[in-house]
Structure 1
Amino acid sequence: MQDKTEQKIFKGAISVFKKKGLQATTQEVSKEAGVAEITLYRRYSTKENLFITVLKDVLEKKFHSHVLEMANKETEIFFMRIIEDRLEILSKNHKLVQMLLSESLKGSLPKEINLPEIIFMSLKKGIEYHFKLKNQSVDTDFCARQLGGIFLSYVVLPNEQPFNKLTTQEKKETVRRYAKLVLAAMEEN
């Protein structure tokens, strides 16, 4: 459980890192968070440690949530719920995700923050659990890569309308289309 100061730091850091990536300064973070710069140093010792701590917390909470809870559904429903959940998260956090991809392409991110790997491992774990419950043998790497590709392409090549701004019907159609693509690819594999 985070204390109030840590919550303020995380919120401020995310806001600043979204805008400036690793180029952000601790002074900017402390100002945005409303805490003294020395507080950041006492808690995290370096800007890089703060960056890693904040982003790992956000990514682990966002990308590991719900997958295992959805695993007992029928496969198409399971995929649809994962796709809907992830597209919602990615569209709501679009700037943060784009910043992470940009920093990753620059080679600026520490190894601990590997967005594609975080997405892939989260998906793979949930997919393995789902098919274990179904007592089916499936290439979970392939499934996770298919889903991960959908999510990363959605961030890199965003649609005119962000997913979280679509109508309920448009979301359902989008999710169903992607789920059917993944199921078809699995059958071909």
Structure 2
Amino acid sequence: MSQQDKMIEELFHNADELTEKQKKIVAAAIDSFAEKGYAATSTSEIAKKAGVAEGTIFRHYKTKKELLMAIVAPTMAKLIAPFVIKDLNKVLNQDFERLEDFLKAFIENRIQFLKSNMPLFRIFIQEIPFQPELREQFKEHIAQKVLERLRQIVEHYQAKGQIIEMPPDTVIRVAASTIFGYIIARYLLSPEEKWDDNAEIERTIQFLMNGLSPEK
């Protein structure tokens, strides 16, 4: 099975409303947008990769922007959001005694998820600053659902005296910026560098612990 066929199977196994040609078009678009970016990708390239005529794309999607949103809407609402939340809950639903253990499990969980879904991650990172619809989809289907759970976790560790007293949303922003800053540098900006992943994860955790732990 080719990489594209695997992507189609994983992303669209429940998307019965899409035809097989639409699935191939969307999978090819994901691959191309992730590789070259939305602006630099032509519909002719997508058509060639999908094995369809360019006119077939425009029978289903009037513009390239509509094709991008056709990727975002079904994958975010029906496929990615439940998958992200279910996968993340493997960590969120565990009761770690120490904040440090929770952070390690959280980082490792997100790295594994993103490594398995890198093309979509690339599209979101590249296009969120420029596509308001994409930001709204992300907020509606993922951010809002995860944020409340993270607030509860922050308050839990604050009650245990392991996180400094500050608004939970501030704690989440600081931690998320640090964690995803490392992940973006590691897998998007400088993947060719020689990374000591275990050491980098440990440094990231210690940086957060030093900033979030109450003063002794």
| TM-score bracket, shorter-length normalisation | 0.5 to 0.7
Structure 1 residues 138 and 78, CA gap change in structure 2 (3 angstroms): farther
- Residues 1:180 and 2:206 aligned together: yes
**Which of 133, 148, 171 is matched with 1:112 structurally?**
133
1:48 positional shift: 0.9
Q: Deviations over 1:113-172 (max 9, x none)?
A: 249x7686576344124346668486332232223222135424536146xxxxxxx544
Structure 1 residues 135 and 153, CA gap change in structure 2 (3 angstroms): closer
Letter in 1 for 2:87: H
**Which of 87, 92, 107 is matched with 2:111 structurally?**
87
1:101 positional shift: 4.3
Which residue of structure 2 lines up, in the alignment, with residue 34 of structure 1?
A: 51
RMSD: 3.8
1:66 positional shift: 2.2
- Residues 1:76 and 2:100 aligned together: yes
TM-score (norm 2): 0.61
**Which of 52, 71, 81 is matched with 1:54 structurally?**
71
Question: If you compute each CA radius of gyration, which structure gives the higher value, 1 or 2?
Answer: 2
**Which of 165, 171, 192 is matched with 1:143 structurally?**
171
Tell me the secondary structure at the aligned position of residue 113 of structure 1. helix
Percent of residue pairs bearing the same amino acid type: 22
Alpha-carbon distance between aligned partners in 2 of 1:77 and 1:7, rounded to the nearest angstrom = 40
Which range moved further: 136-145 or 119-128? 119-128
- Consecutive unaligned residues in structure 2, runs of 5 or more: 1-13, 160-164
TM-score (norm 1): 0.67
Structure 1 residues 152 and 90, CA gap change in structure 2 (3 angstroms): farther
Which residue of structure 1 lines up, in the alignment, with residue 151 of structure 2?
A: 128
Does the 8 Å CA contact 1:120/1:144 hold for their aligned counterparts?
A: no
**Which of 15, 22, 34 is matched with 1:2 structurally?**
15
1:89 positional shift: 4.2
Which range moved further: 26-35 or 175-184? 175-184
Q: Work out the number of aligned pairs and report it.
A: 178
Alpha-carbon distance between aligned partners in 2 of 1:175 and 1:7, rounded to the nearest angstrom = 37
Structure 1 residues 127 and 32, CA gap change in structure 2 (3 angstroms): same
Letter in 2 for 1:45: K
Does the 8 Å CA contact 1:124/1:140 hold for their aligned counterparts?
A: no
- Consecutive unaligned residues in structure 1, runs of 5 or more: 163-169
Alpha-carbon distance between aligned partners in 2 of 1:158 and 1:111, rounded to the nearest angstrom = 27
Which residue of structure 2 lines up, in the alignment, with residue 152 of structure 1?
A: 181
Whose RCO is larger (CA < 8 A, sep 6+)?
A: 1
